[in-house]
Chains A and B, each alone.
Chain A
Amino acid sequence: MRTPNEPAPLLPLLHAYHDRDGMLTDDALREISATLKIPLADLYGTVTFYHFFAREPGGRDAPRVCDGPICKLKGCDGMLDALAAEGAKPMPCAGRCDEPIPVLRGGEVLTGLSVDDLRVRPTPLPPAYPGDDEECVFAHIREPGRATLDGYRANGGYTALESALRDASPGAVIETIEASGLAGRGGAGFPTGRKWRAVADAAGSPKTIVCNADEGEPGCFKDRAIMDYDPHAIIEGMVLAGFATGAERGFIYLRYEYPKTLEILERAIAEAESAGMLGDDIAGTDTEFRLYVRRGAGAYICGEETSLLNSLEGKHPFPRNRPPFPVTHGFEDLPTAVNNVETLASVAPILRNGAEWYRGLGRGEHAGTKLISLSGDIQRPGNYEVPIGLPLRTLLDDWAGGPQPGRSIQAVTMAGLSGGFLGGEDLDATLDEPSLRGKGSFLGAGGIMVFDDTRDMLEVAHGAMRFFAHESCGKCFPCRIGTQRLTERLARDAGPAALDAWREEVADIGATMKATSACGLGMAAPLITESLLRYFPDAVRAHFGD
């Protein structure tokens, strides 16, 4: 068993016992409770929060089959039936929408459209860059060996860090990042430089950098591509963040659905440590930064930064009330910067090429680039790095080849599922927050799922709401009850029989969820019903037999 001497020991201990015993036994929980001095009732409750942790014999190795929106289109129900004898269980979107259907079995992920087709396949590389602009994050990702230290160094890897440590002040690093216009690429869009400055200015130590790699948003798989093919870019970004803010430790919080990625990250960290890019004397400059990977256990809400921090600390992973914000009261109540994988991977290129260069990558007044995970009814699904402000149609039709021949695009989702649907004329939007906010949606983490004219949007909406209900943490009332009631109403399991009354209930629940929910999950979920009613009133009416 791993010793609890490292920080954030609960998740590693739980995984260690889970792997050893194939489940979490009562005795294991008792031991962990005594070791970490976590009350047994709390520990038990927390374990039940994570859907990966099994409490029945053999539960850990029962196959988990993705039943996310895309896998639903691709036949995951059949896969579940076919694996029923092995005790297969569904898992929410596991981030292989570009190559469905992922099945987690034991320690590895297989993919395939049928049981016979299941095999271990490497993460697909981003398609060759189809645009006329320049990439930032993906600029070198397709080079063979990029994931190794030598491969990373071959194209300027770690030079940004080395020169910053030798020649720049932390303040100068923050100024460059501020000037570049880089903002949080996990979806919240908070200016990265400002966040770092707040952590740098906050009292209390040790400070912490957390890389949010809990890529749980359905339809998002961009972070996996970066981590699998360019892990050192994240490490370099984190050490730079540590230097800029004065943080001496970092965590990568990785979703459990990416076991291969865990190996890649741990190998890269070991390489970086032996090369002196991590540790207590980085690049010979006496700078200290230690990096730990922590594996999640299946909870979408842990992508929300304060839930993530609670999860790291071994607490029940409810979101925290804010303020105070993590920049002053984060991991263990100390100043903490939580940044997305993509954000951190952008840092070293920006420092190498300059703030102006990065700003110039966007269209018009928009700064920089955004990774988009594109999947569903589209000819060339995959990860694309788009200049912010690119027309959506350009991405769909020119870059990704458009829908299958003979089909038309009925709707796309935005921000994975959290931005709801776009359809009709609103498909003319450009990929930037002002344009999308104007249409009641947002870019978010950059997942776009495409549904062509053969799809039943009510069924899609029901699946989406079921996901939100499944992932609602259960703390705040509007989300906990609202997601359930909306799911029931989309399935027509309960609720008014008459359309008008049905619309009124759905609208009232949605309005209250948006206005009063405690975190983004409950505020985003009603965008599904709202956009469904906006773009597809006929489909709703048909559902009522009108």
Chain B
Amino acid sequence: MTQTSDAIEARTASQTTIVLDGTEVPFCDGETLYEISRRHRKEVPTLCYDDRLDAFGACRLCVVEVDGFRNPVASCTTKATPGMVVRSTSETLERHRKTLMELVVSENTGGSARNGNIDVDPLRGLKSQELSNLATRYEVDGTRFAGATSGKSRQDDGNPFILRDYDKCISCYRCVRVCAEREGDYAISVMNRGFHTQITTEFDSKLEDSACTFCGQCVQTCPTGALADRKALRDAETPGELKKTRTVCPYCGVGCSVDMLSKGDKIVGIHPAMDGPANQGALCIKGQYAFDFIQHPDRLQTPMIRASNGQLVPATWDEALDRAAAGFLAANRDHGRHSIYAIASGRAPHESAYSVQKFIRAGFASNHVDNCSRA
């Protein structure tokens, strides 16, 4: 207890403040102006920011005014120092932000966006609405600063998972950074420079010929939908509200949290859960893309029992359950409790394994139960 209260005291003692939009607010050592602003619900816009990545300072939308600095500073890369006087918004800042938005939308759409309506299907990816939302917020109609567009879509990359629609790319480098900093694969990089900047791979190859592992992390951080979930987009026209259900990946033992996306009765995709305790937003190819086995036509749809001709034939639940029970009762009666065995699944939830072992232990006074961990 003393240790804890000491720690709190020490923190309070070292706690210092800045003035943010006229209010004195405390901050912790190392906190950036952006982090403090967000903590205080200031709506500082960003496009290159992802809180899982090192601050990068590219989009410059998050600039704030700091007394004593000639120019606005990027709040994402500027650490607070005691006594700073900071304005997260002002007429000048909003004018610069609007100009920046007009510039970036002009690069992205070449002036083809209409009435601020940059249409991006949310199935493209978790963060795919960021640009269009900001365009709406800043009433950017897409007509100003018209000119050349940058980025060339890779129509030739036929991989079934990741659509590389670089016409929509704004070169925020979030895909490059997530691949390096979070996934550690270093499959994505950037080639050329200036307006000719292009997100690429080794030798500008297709993803399948690169170091890409198809974890989909680049898709899920892309703020424009330029990198998009090709599997989910198959259901772009499927009717129904997009629903998210928090669950845990069914593959390996890491236990990554995901949000299952469904429309009506159909599962259409997966989003990584950024607040997932085991994975903190990370996924692999299986968790991200190998979800559609669930609704595969091969699924067992009805109970089946072996008929007298030796064939498995469909049955009602009552018939099948009666038959199942009868067989165990017969074995117990004729050969004793140790003639029955059960193997629980390491894939099914607890309730399955628990029921299996209780069935054997409580039902037959036996410990003849195991699971598939030895396979």
Contact = CB atoms under 8 A, between A and B. Distances in A.
Given A474-B190, A485-B106, A515 B203 contact: no
Contacts of B146: 494-495
**Secondary structure of the A side of the interface?**
helix
Nearest to B107: A481
B89 interface: no
B211 A509 contact: no
B190 A481 contact: no
A512 interface: yes
Contacts of A404: none
A477 B60 contact: yes
A495 B147 contact: yes
Interface stretch (A42-50, A336-344, A383-391): A42-50
Given A321-B77, A509-B145, A512-B96, A48 B192 contact: yes
A60 interface: no
A481 B106 contact: yes
Interface in A488-544: 488, 493-495, 505, 508-509, 511-512, 514-518, 523
B203 A511 contact: no
Q: Which of A41, A475, A481 has the most CB of B within 10 A?
A: A41
Contacts of A473: 193-194
Given A476-B58, A476-B60, A482 B103 contact: yes
Contacts of A478: 60, 100, 103
A473 B92 CA distance: 26
Interface stretch (A345-353, A439-447, A464-472): A464-472
B202 A41 contact: yes
B188 interface: yes
Given A474-B197, A478-B60, A321 B55 contact: yes
B272 interface: no
B191 A484 contact: no
Given A485-B106, A505-B145, A477 B58 contact: yes
B57 interface: yes
Contact of B71 (A29, A480, A515): A515
Interface in B298-346: none
Interface size of A as a range: 35 or more
A41 B195 contact: no
A484 B63 contact: no
Contacts, number: 154
B59 A477 contact: yes
Contacts of A523: 71
A458 interface: no
Nearest to B48: A477
Nearest to A468: B194
A478 to B, nearest CB: 6
A42 B189 contact: yes
B200 interface: yes
Given A474-B171, A505-B144, A516-B96, A480 B60 contact: no
Interface string B44-59: 0001000000011111
B211 A485 contact: no
A515 B195 contact: no
A509 B103 contact: yes
Contacts of B104: 477, 481
A505 B96 CA distance: 13
A45 B145 CA distance: 28
A484 B148 CA distance: 8
B72 interface: yes
B233 interface: no
A484 B57 contact: no
B221 interface: no
A130 to B, nearest CB: 37
A316 interface: yes
B191 A45 contact: yes
Contacts of B186: 39-42
B168 to A, nearest CB: 15
Contact of A471 (B71, B106, B191, B194): B194
Nearest to B73: A516
A373 interface: no
Contacts of A235: none
A375 interface: no
Interface in B76-126: 77, 79, 92, 95-96, 99-100, 103-104, 106-107
Contact of A474 (B144, B145, B193): B193
A515 B69 CA distance: 11
Given A45-B190, A493-B147, A495-B146, A483 B195 contact: yes
A515 B107 contact: no
Given A41-B202, A475-B58, A505-B144, A512 B193 contact: no
Interface string B173-189: 10000001000001111
Interface string B117-155: 000000000000000000000000000111110100000
Contacts of B37: none
User: Which residue among A42, A469, A481 has the maximum number of chain B CB atoms within 10 Å of its CB?
Assistant: A481
B157 to A, nearest CB: 15
A516 B100 contact: yes
Nearest to A38: B186
Contacts of A484: 107, 147-148, 150, 194-195
Contacts of A21: none
A518 B57 contact: yes
Interface in A168-220: none
Contacts of B99: 508-509, 511-512
A266 interface: no
Contacts of A48: 191-192
Contacts of B103: 477-478, 481-482, 485, 509, 512
B100 A41 contact: no
Contacts of A46: 189
Given A48-B191, A480-B194, A483-B195, A515 B145 contact: no
A44 B191 contact: yes
Contacts of A88: none
Contacts of A488: 147-148
B164 to A, nearest CB: 14
A517 B189 contact: no
B74 interface: yes
A299 interface: yes
A26 interface: yes
Contacts of B148: 484, 488, 494
A518 B11 CA distance: 33
A44 B203 contact: yes
Interface in B182-234: 186-197, 200-204, 210-211
Contacts of B191: 44-45, 48-49
B187 to A, nearest CB: 6
Contacts of A43: 202
A41 B183 CA distance: 14
Nearest to A514: B71
Interface in A220-279: none
A311 to B, nearest CB: 12
B106 A40 contact: no
Contacts of A29: 203
A39 B186 CA distance: 6
Given A321-B74, A505-B145, A517-B60, A483 B55 contact: no
Contacts of A493: 147
Contacts of A475: 56, 58, 173
A369 B187 CA distance: 50
B195 A469 contact: yes
6 contacts: A41-B210, A321-B55, A474-B196, A477-B170, A478-B103, A509-B99
Interface of B: 47, 55-61, 63, 71-72, 74, 77, 79, 92, 95-96, 99-100, 103-104, 106-107, 144-148, 150, 170-171, 173, 180, 186-197, 200-204, 210-211
Kindly list the 3 A-B residue pairs having the minimum CB-CB distance in the complex, ordered from nearest: A39-B186, A45-B189, A474-B197
Given A46-B189, A323-B79, A469-B195, 14 more contacts: A39-B187, A40-B211, A474-B195, A477-B58, A477-B103, A484-B107, A484-B148, A484-B150, A495-B146, A508-B99, A512-B100, A515-B63, A515-B92, A516-B60
